[in-house]
Amino acid sequence: MVEALGNIELSSRVITPASAAGRLHHIDARYAELKTALKPIDVGSETHQLLAQYIANIYAATHSEYALELLQAFELAREGEGETFRDVGNRKLLWHGSRLSIWVGILSGGLRIATPAHT
């Protein structure tokens, strides 16, 4: 609970109400404050097709009552990370589930893996 409150406090400090002087859509302004670019993945792209295939392959026999369809996917790019990881050849798509309360921390400071002492 204290950790969640700390993450909410971080969110309120990072995201200020007077962002981008009204030049951007309010959602785009929030991502800009986090120094994070959010862009849609083209429906015909290899990445979109790969995501759709992943979704199609997650069904077990117990999940036959419904079907998921990928409507839209987005790519996030944090400022400076492109240069940092440009020469890394083993790129993979990351599936990560987190509480909404810590997303601002992840987007502003990167994904940090807790050590066993912190879990």
Across the strands, what pairs with 1?
A: none
CA Rg, the chain, in Å? 17
pLDDT-above-70 percentage for the chain? 79
Hey, how many other C-beta atoms are within 10 angstroms of the C-beta on 80? 10
Q: Do the Cβ atoms of 94 and 47 come closer than 8 Å?
A: no
Q: Do the Cβ atoms of 36 and 74 come closer than 8 Å?
A: no
Render each residue's pLDDT in the chain as its tens digit; 119 residues: 556 556 556 556 655 555 445 678 888 888 888 888 889 999 999 999 999 998 888 877 787 888 888 999 998 888 888 777 778 877 777 777 788 888 888 888 887 777 776 55
Q: Looking at residue 57, what DSSP letter applies?
A: T
Copy the structure tokens of residue 17.
């109400």
Tell me: the pLDDT tens digits for 3-28?
655 655 655 665 555 544 567 888 88
Which residues, other chains included, contact 94 with Cβ-Cβ below 8 Å and sequence gap of 6+? Answer: 111
